[in-house]
Structure 1
C-alpha cells in the first residue's frame, strides 16, 4: 500500500452536515449547519469544494453535485459525549471523552470561584454571565477602563473568558489572570474546557474592537494522542491556528498563530512549499467564532467562499505523495436558536493526486478514524487507551 509523505488535516471549525441521532439530548433538533446555509443563501461560489465532493456528500439550496468528484468523502459521527472544540479535536487524535465539560450558561460562575479569581488577580470581576463577547465589551468596557475591574463571562460552551483593554489592562497581565483562572478551574466541580483571553482596544462605546491577541488556555488532553506518538517517533507535527492551544502543545513540534481563517490558509499554503515529513494540522476558527455563534448565516457562507479560494491555491501546491483531509469538529448552525454549538455529523473529504478516482465511502461513527489513518500511514502505534481504526486503504 502506498504511503503519504505529508498529510494536511484542515478543520473547518463548526461546519457540521446534519443532526446526529442523539442531537435532541444536546438540545438540538433538525440542525444542519452547511445544509441550512445553502438553503438560505441559495448558492455559494465553492468550485473547489464542489470538485472534491462536498456537495455529493451534503447538498442544499440551488447547488448541484459534481458529476465526477475528485475526492473520497464520508460522514463522520462523534463518539464522545460533547459538541465542543476540544472534544472534537481530541477525538480526531484518538481520545474519547465520556464526561462532558461543565457549562455555566444559566447563572454564570459560582460566587466561590469568582471570589478566588478576584483575590488571586487583584481585580474586581464584573459581568459574570453568558454573553456575546462583542456585546459585553460594549456594555462593560467603559466601566472596566474607568474602574480597573475585569470583565468575566461565559457562553453556551464550557469556557471562561476574560476581556482586557490592551491599553489599560496590559496584555501580559491579562494573560497572567487567565493563567490564574485556568489553575482555579482545574478543580473537578469547576472543570471548564477552556479559559480564553479576549483583548480589545478602544476608549468608549462604539469604538471597541477585539484584537488578534486572543489566547486559549485549554486542559491538557486526558492521555497521549496520535500527535504525541508522531512527535516521539521524530515526525513533524505542525499546528496552525488554535491547534497548539487545543492540545496544550502536547505532540506539537512547530506552531503558527493565525490572525484569521484566511491567514490560517495562507500560512498552510506557505507550509506546503516547505519540505517536511509528517502532519500539518490546521484549525480555521472564524466559521465558528465570527459567524456560527453570532448566528450570521450570510457571513458564514461568505467565509466558506473565502476558504474555497485559498483551497484552490493549496491544491495547486500539493505534491503527488501528499494527502489532504478536510473535516470539522462539531456543528454551529447559524439558523438555529441560541448561540451554542450543535451536535452534528461532520464531513470527511480526502484527496491526493495519486488517487485513481473519487467517490463516497461508508460513514463512520467516530472522528478517530482520522488519527488512526495518520498513524498507520506513518507506521506509528496508536497510544494505549486511544480509540479509532484506520481507513487508510480506502484513501490511497
Structure 2
C-alpha cells in the first residue's frame, strides 16, 4: 500500500451499542437522526456501502456496493474523542479518564489561579456556547478565566480574545496540562477563545487542545518509526499530543479539512493521512442541530468524488467515527454508539461486508498490515477481506 486516507467523521455514530444504557444513551442513533432531515443526501457513500452496514436502515442499501464496509464496536470504557481515537489507533482503554460532574476540586483551581495570576469563574459542566453567554460579562469585567467541563474528560478554559490574548490563554492551558496528572489526568485541556459583545459572543476557530499522551504504542508510532509519512489534518495532532506524527495542518472546520485532504490526494507521499472533521460534534451534535448535522454530512458526501479522483491502485480511502452525538435526543453529550467503517479505492473488494467487528482497533491493525509493519497494537487486521 502506498497511501491511506483515514477520515474520522467526528461523532457520526450509527446506532446504540448493547451497553448504551450504562451510559444513559438508549435509543441514540446519530446517523438516523441526521437522515430524518430533508437536507440529508449521501448518494456517494450510499454507493460505496454506508447503508449496507449491519443495523443501518435509514436509507436503502446499495444493490451493488463498490466498497467494503463494517460496523465497529467500541471496546474501551468511554465515549469521548480521546478514547475513541486512541482505540482506532490500537489502544484498548479499560480505565476511564476522570470526569467532573460536580466541577474540579477547589484546591486544584486555587493553584491554577495562583500560577496564572487570574481568578476562575463557573467550574461546572456547561454548554460551551451557554457558558460564555452566562459568564462572559463577568469575565470581561474581572479578567477571570471561565473554567468548565462536560460529560467528557475535559478541562476547558474560555476567554475573550480582547481580555486574554490567545497566546496567554494557550500558556494558561499549558499550566493546567502540567497540573492535571495522576488522579486528575484528564484527557484534554481545551483553550476556547471567543470574541464579540454580550449577548452575541462567538467562539473563534483558534481553539487548541492539549491532550494527555497515549498510554501505549499506537499505529501512528509504529508507522512513523518504520519510515512512513503520518500526516495529521485537523485536531488529530492535538489528540495524540503530536506523538507519531511527521507532519500536521490545522483546520478551521469541515470545509477547510476536506479541502486540505483533497489537496493531499494530489500529493506524492508514502503513508497515512489521518483526518478529523470536527464540526459534526462541535457545531451540530452538542447543539442538537439536526439540520446542521444533515447539511454537514451532505457536504462530505459531495466531496467524495474529488477524494477518489486521485487515488491510485495502491491507495485506500476510509471513513469512520470515534463515538456518537445524537442531535435529536434531549442530551447534548456524546452517545455510546457503533461507528461505521467504509473503505473505497481501486483495489478494494466491491461489496465486502465485514459484519460487526469487535473493536475500533481493527482499523489500526489493518493499516499497519497494509504498510507491512508488524502490529504491536490491539486489534486484528482485516486487510485480506478488504483488498483484492
The residue aligned with 2:32 is: 35
Question: Do the aligned residues in 1 keep the contact of 2:233 with 2:248 (CA within 8 Å)?
Answer: yes
Q: How does 1:147-296 map to 2 (within 5 A)?
A: 147-188=142-183, 190-202=184-196, 204-296=197-289
Partner-residue secondary structure (3-state), 2:148: strand
- The CA deviation at 1:45 is 1.6
The CA deviation at 1:138 is 1.3
Q: How many angstroms apart in 1 are the aligned matches of 2:32 and 2:327? A: 11
Please, which of 57, 69, 91 is the counterpart of residue 95 of structure 1?
A: 91
Any idea what the Cα deviations from partners look like across 1:341-371, whole Å, max 9, x if unmatched? 1111100111111235223222211001111
Return the alpha-carbon distance in structure 2 between the equivalents of residues 36 and 45 of structure 1.
Answer: 13
* Contact persistence 1:11–1:283 (CA under 8 A): yes
1:171-197 deviations in whole A, cap 9, x for unaligned?
Answer: 111001101111111131x22111000
Shift of 1:95: 0.7
Counterpart CA distance in 1 for 2:132 and 2:39 is 35
Whole-angstrom CA distance in 2 between matches of 1:260 and 1:144 = 27
Shift of residue 42 of structure 1? 5.3
CA distance in 2, matches of 1:253, 1:295: 36
* 1:317 equivalent among 310, 324, 327: 310
1:392 maps onto 2:386 in alignment: no
Q: How many residue pairs align between the two structures?
A: 386
Instruction: Name which of structure 1's ranges 250-259 and 145-154 shifts more when overlaid on structure 2.
Output: 145-154
Distance 1:36 1:296 in 2: 10
1:131 aligns with 2:122: no
Is the Cα contact below 8 Å between 1:238 and 1:252 reproduced in 2? yes
Which SS does the other structure have where 2:155 is aligned? strand
CA distance in 2, matches of 1:163, 1:183: 18
In structure 2, the gaps of 5 or more residues are: none
SS of the equivalent of 1:361 reads strand
Q: State which of 78, 103, 106 in structure 2 corresponds to 1:108.
A: 103
Tell me whether 5-14 or 310-319 shows the greater mean CA deviation.
310-319
Q: In 2, distance between residues paired with 1:114 and 1:224?
A: 32
Show the 5 A alignment for 1:357-372.
Answer: 357-372=350-365
- Output the aligned Cα RMSD: 1.3
Whole-angstrom CA distance in 2 between matches of 1:242 and 1:333 = 21
Shifted more, 135-144 versus 267-276: the winner is 135-144
Aligned pairs for 1:378-389 (under 5 A) are: 378-383=371-376, 386-389=377-380
Is 2:20 the counterpart of 1:7? no
How big is each residue's C-alpha offset from its partner over 1:58-101, in whole Å with a ceiling of 9 and x where there is no partner?
Answer: 5445x322221111111010111111111111111111101101
Tell me if the contact between 1:216 and 1:245 (Cα under 8 Å) persists in the aligned partners.
yes
**Structure 1 ranges of 4+ moved more than 3 A:** 58-61
CA contact (8 A) 1:156 1:339 kept: no
Q: Distance in 2 between matches of 1:207 and 1:335?
A: 25
Q: Is the 8 A contact 1:36 1:60 kept in 2?
A: no
Distance in 2 separating the partners of 1:117 and 1:355: 52
Name stretches of at least 5 consecutive residues in structure 1 with no aligned partner: none
1-side partners of 2:349 and 2:113: how far apart?
60
